[in-house]
C-alpha cells in the first residue's frame, strides 16, 4: 500500500513512522492508495472532499464533519442533539449579550472563539473583568462561545471511524499549559502519556458518547471517516465533553501510535473505505512524549537556532525523536522552525521508566532558548 500523509508537524512525523511499518509512505502529490490528512485546517477547508472528488481513498472527514472542530458553536449543537454531556454554554456575536451571559454564570469563566485559533483561542479564568475584556477582543473577529468553568483532570480519547462504527485508540493525557505544575498560557500541548492510570472504568461511557455523536452525524447525512478526538474533562459529576477535534491529537499521536501493534495503515484504509474495522492490538508498554519548544513559545517563537544532539538522543533505548518544527539547512544542520520543535518519545514497560528514558534523551539535545516541561506524566 502506498500512503500519502499531508502535513508536517510532530503528529505527521509520528504518522509517517507508524504507517511506514507496513506501507510505503510517499510524497503528498503521488498517486497513492490512501491519503491521510494530519492537521485540522485543510480538513476544515475541504481538502478531503476535493481528494474524494478525484476518486481518492481519504482518511479524514470532509468539511461538513470537520465543522466539529471548525465551529465550537456547531459542535455544541451536535452534542446537545446527541445527548452528550458538556459544559453550560452560549454562542454570541453581540458583545453585550455575551457579557450579560458571563455575568449570569456562578463564577469561573471560559471564553472561546467560534473560529479556528490554532489551540490558542481559549481563556480560562476566575476574573470576570479579564473574561469581559477577552470577549470584546475575540468578538471583533467572529462569534464567541462562553462556558461555565468545569474542574477535573482531562483525557484524550481518539476514535477511528468508518462512517458508522469506530474503534477507540489507547487513551492519552496531554499537558496544555506551558509551565511546570500547569502554569502559564495554554499551548497546543507540551507533552503526553499513555496509558492513563485509573480511567478504564470510564471508557464505556466515553464510547457511548462517541457512538451517539457518530449516529447524530449520520442522521445529518455526514459520512465521517477519520479520527474523532474526544477531549474530556473528568469532573466530580462524571466525564464531560470539552471539545471534539477531527484529527489525531498533537502530541497525543506521538504516544498513541507507538503503542499500536496491529497494522495502522490497514486500519486507516478500512476506515477511509467505509469497510469493517480490523481489531486493534495494543502493547501493554507505556509511552511518554516530551515537547521541546523554541524560545518565546507559545507567544512569539524564535526560528533559526541550531539544534544539537538529536542523534545522541535517538540512540537512547526505546526513544524516538519526532521532528515538529525543524528546518534542515544547506549545511545539513537542524534549525528551529516553529514553536514546538521536537517531540522526544520513549516506550518502556512502565510510565515511570518511559518518563526516565524520555528525559534522559532530552539531556542530549540543546539550542539557545530551548524549554520544556519537567513534569510530563507525573500527574
Identified binder of ligand GLY from the candidate list 134, 216, 250, 285, rule CB under 6 A: 250
Residue among 108 and 119 whose Cβ is closer to ligand GLY: 119
Least Å distance, CB 231 to ligand AMP, is 5
Residue among 102 and 338 whose Cβ is closer to ligand GLY: 338
> Where does this chain touch ligand GLY (CB under 6 A) — which range of 28-36, 242-250, 300-308, 324-332?
242-250
Residue among 112 and 247 whose Cβ is closer to ligand AMP: 112
Residue among 173 and 269 whose Cβ is closer to ligand GLY: 173
Q: Which of residues 168-207 bind ligand GLY (CB under 6 A)?
A: 174, 188-189
Residues 180-199, one symbol each (x = binds ligand AMP by CB under 6 A, - = not), give: ------x-------------
Q: Identify the bridge partners of residue 179 per DSSP, sorted by sequence position.
A: 183
Identified binder of ligand AMP from the candidate list 57, 144, 150, 172, rule CB under 6 A: 150
Residues 87-126, one symbol each (x = binds ligand AMP by CB under 6 A, - = not), give: x----------------------x-x---------x-x--
Residues 116-145, one symbol each (x = binds ligand GLY by CB under 6 A, - = not), give: ---x--------------------------
Least Å distance, CB 154 to ligand AMP, is 5
Residue among 18 and 110 whose Cβ is closer to ligand AMP: 110
174 binds, among ligand AMP, ligand GLY, none (CB under 5 to 8 A by kind): ligand GLY
Binding-residue total with ligand AMP (CB under 6 A): 14
Q: Identify the bridge partners of residue 24 per DSSP, sorted by sequence position.
A: 2
CA 26 to chain CA centroid, Å, is 23
CB 44 within 8 A of CB 244: no
Least Å distance, CB 53 to ligand GLY, is 28
Which residue is associated with the grid cell 469506530? 166
Least Å distance, CB 174 to ligand GLY, is 4
Q: What is the 3-state secondary structure (H, E, C) of the chain?
A: CEEEEECCCHHHHHHHHHHCCCCEEECCCCCCCEEEECCHHHHHCCHHHHHHHCCCCEECCCHHHHHHHHCHHHHHHHHHHHCCCECCEEEECCHHHHHHHHHHCCCCEEEEECCCCCCCCEEEECCHHHHHHHHHHHHCCCCEEEEECCCCCEEEEEEEEECCCEEECCCEEECCEEECCCEEEECCCCEEEECCCCCHHHHHHHHHHHHHHHHHHHHCCCCCEEEEEEEEEEECCEEEEEEEECCCCCCCHHHHHHHECCCHHHHHHHHHHCCCCCCCCECCCEEEEEEEECCCCCCCCCCCCEEECHHHHHCCCCEEEEECCEEECCCCCEEECCCEEEEEEEEECCHHHHHHHHHHHHCCCECCCCECCCCCCCC
> Where does this chain touch ligand GLY (CB under 6 A) — which range of 23-31, 194-202, 249-257, 363-371?
249-257
Residue 171 in the binding site for ligand AMP (CB under 6 A): no
Least Å distance, CB 172 to ligand GLY, is 9
Residue among 87 and 319 whose Cβ is closer to ligand AMP: 87
CA distances in angstroms from 90 to 58, 230, 242, listed in the order given: 34, 20, 14
CA 20 to chain CA centroid, Å, is 21
302 binds, among ligand AMP, ligand GLY, none (CB under 5 to 8 A by kind): none
Residue 249 in the binding site for ligand AMP (CB under 6 A): no
Read off φ and ψ for residue 200, nearest 5 degrees: -60, -35
Least Å distance, CB 356 to ligand AMP, is 27
Residue among 87 and 160 whose Cβ is closer to ligand AMP: 87
The span from the CA of 253 to the CA of 259, in Å, is 10
Residues near ligand GLY (CB under 6 A)? 119, 174, 188-189, 245, 249-250, 252
Residues that bind ligand AMP (CB under 6 A): 87, 110, 112, 122, 124, 147, 149-150, 154, 176, 186, 231, 242-243
Amino acid at each position: 500500500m502506498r500512503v500519502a500523509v499531508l502535513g508536517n508537524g510532530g503528529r505527521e512525523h509520528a504518522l509517517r513512522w507508524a504507517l511506514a511499518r507496513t506501507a510505503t509512505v510517499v510524497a503528498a502529490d503521488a498517486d497513492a492508495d490512501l491519503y491521510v490528512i494530519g492537521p485540522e485546517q485543510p480538513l476544515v477547508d475541504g481538502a478531503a472532499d476535493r481528494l474524494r472528488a478525484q476518486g481518492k481513498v481519504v482518511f479524514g472527514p470532509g468539511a461538513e464533519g470537520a465543522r466539529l472542530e471548525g465551529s465550537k458553536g456547531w459542535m455544541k449543537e451536535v452534542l446537545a442533539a446527541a445527548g452528550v454531556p458538556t459544559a453550560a454554554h452560549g454562542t454570541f456575536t453581540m458583545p453585550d449579550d455575551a457579557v450579560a451571559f458571563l455575568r449570569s454564570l456562578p463564577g469561573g469563566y471560559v471564553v472561546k472563539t467560534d473560529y479556528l485559533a490554532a489551540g490558542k483561542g481559549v481563556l480560562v479564568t476566575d476574573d470576570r473583568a479579564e473574561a469581559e475584556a477577552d470577549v470584546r477582543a475575540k468578538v471583533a473577529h467572529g462569534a464567541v462561545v462562553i462556558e461555565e468553568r468545569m474542574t477535573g483532570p482531562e483525557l484524550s480519547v481518539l476514535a477511528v471511524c468508518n462512517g458508522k462504527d469506530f474503534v477507540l485508540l489507547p487513551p492519552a493525557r496531554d499537558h496544555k499549559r506551558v509551565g511546570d505544575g500547569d502554569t502559564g498560557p495554554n499551548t497546543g500541548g507540551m507533552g503526553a502519556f499513555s496509558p492513563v492510570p485509573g480511567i478504564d472504568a470510564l471508557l464505556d461511557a466515553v464510547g457511548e458518547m462517541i457512538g451517539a455523536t457518530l449516529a447524530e452525524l449520520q442522521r445529518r447525512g455526514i459520512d465521517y471517516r477519520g479520527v474523532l478526538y474526544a477531549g474530556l474533562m473528568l469532573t466530580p459529576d462524571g466525564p464531560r465533553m470539552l471539545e471534539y477535534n477531527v484529527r489525531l491529537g498533537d502530541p497525543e499521536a506521538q504516544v498513541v501510535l507507538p503503542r499500536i501493534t496491529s497494522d495502522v495503515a490497514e486500519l486507516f484504509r478500512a476506515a477511509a473505505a467505509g469497510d469493517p474495522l480490523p481489531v486493534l492490538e495494543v502493547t501493554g508498554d507505556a509511552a511518554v512524549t516530551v515537547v521541546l519548544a523554541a524560545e518565546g513559545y507559545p507567544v512569539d517563537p524564535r526560528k533559526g537556532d541550531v539544534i544539537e544532539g538529536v542523534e545522541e538522543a535517538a540512540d537512547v533505548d526505546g526513544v524516538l525523536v519526532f521532528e515538529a518544527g525543524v528546518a534542515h539547512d544547506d549545511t545539513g544542520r537542524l534549525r528551529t522552525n516553529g514553536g514546538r520543535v521536537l517531540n522526544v518519545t520513549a516506550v518502556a514497560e512502565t510510565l515511570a521508566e518511559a518518563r526516565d528514558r524520555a528525559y534522559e534523551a532530552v539531556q542530549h539535545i540543546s539550542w539557545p532558548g530551548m524549554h520544556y516541561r519537567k513534569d510530563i506524566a507525573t500527574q
